[in-house]
Amino acid sequence: AKWTNEEIQLALFQVTSSTMGLREASRAYGVPVSTLKRHLDKQNKFAIGKRQLGRPTIFTTEMEDEFAHHILQMESMCFGYTRKSCMQLAYEFAERNGLQHPFNQEKKSAGNDWLRLFLRRHPDITIRQPEPTSVDWGLLHKHFFV
């Protein structure tokens, strides 16, 4: 795009304050008429003037942070998630929150692509095969390493 967020906001202000018409503001600020119209009709899915690349995420930022926090909390208690269990947990989380999602209904699981992108957004999470851990090891580990 050859226009900035400020140009969109200025053009929208000119149109909403009846200082300029839609086409006139489009020419003056170099923003396409269709873009201005979409923002005026409030059909833009993001904040006014904000552009976001890529597909939208299934969960909101807050929900995804809560999901990531749960996984990290379980990891700290020596209960890690496998790839499969993490994807199933994501499916359940979406279902319980009543979200529309493209997850697999038959397998009741999120997809590999979703997990890959989720882990990219949250690099502090490690998904690995959980191994049995003795209580003594956990207490010793907590005492020396925390």
pLDDT given for residue 41 in this prediction = 83
The pTM of the full predicted model, rounded to 2 decimals, is 0.58
Q: CA dihedral defined by 61, 66, 71, 72, rounded to 10 degrees?
A: 90
Task: Tell me the range of 55-59, 78-82, 112-116, 123-127 where mean pLDDT is highest.
Answer: 112-116
Average pLDDT over residues 102-116: 95
Using alpha carbons only, what angle is made at residue 53 by residues 10 and 114, rounded to the nearest 5 degrees?
A: 150
Give the integer Cα–Cα distance in Å for 66 and 14: 40
pLDDT given for residue 24 in this prediction = 94
Give the integer Cα–Cα distance in Å for 99 and 27: 40
For residue 66, what are the CA distances in angstroms to 13, 86, 105, 137?
A: 37, 14, 23, 28
All domains of the chain, ordered by start, with CATH? 1-53 (1.10.10), 61-145 (no CATH)
Tens-digit pLDDT profile for residues 22-55: 999 999 999 999 988 988 887 665 555 455 667 7
pLDDT given for residue 138 in this prediction = 61
pLDDT at residue 144 greater than cutoff 90: no
pLDDT at residue 110 greater than cutoff 90: yes
Tens-digit pLDDT profile for residues 48-98: 545 566 778 899 989 999 999 999 998 888 788 899 999 999 999 999 999
pLDDT given for residue 86 in this prediction = 94
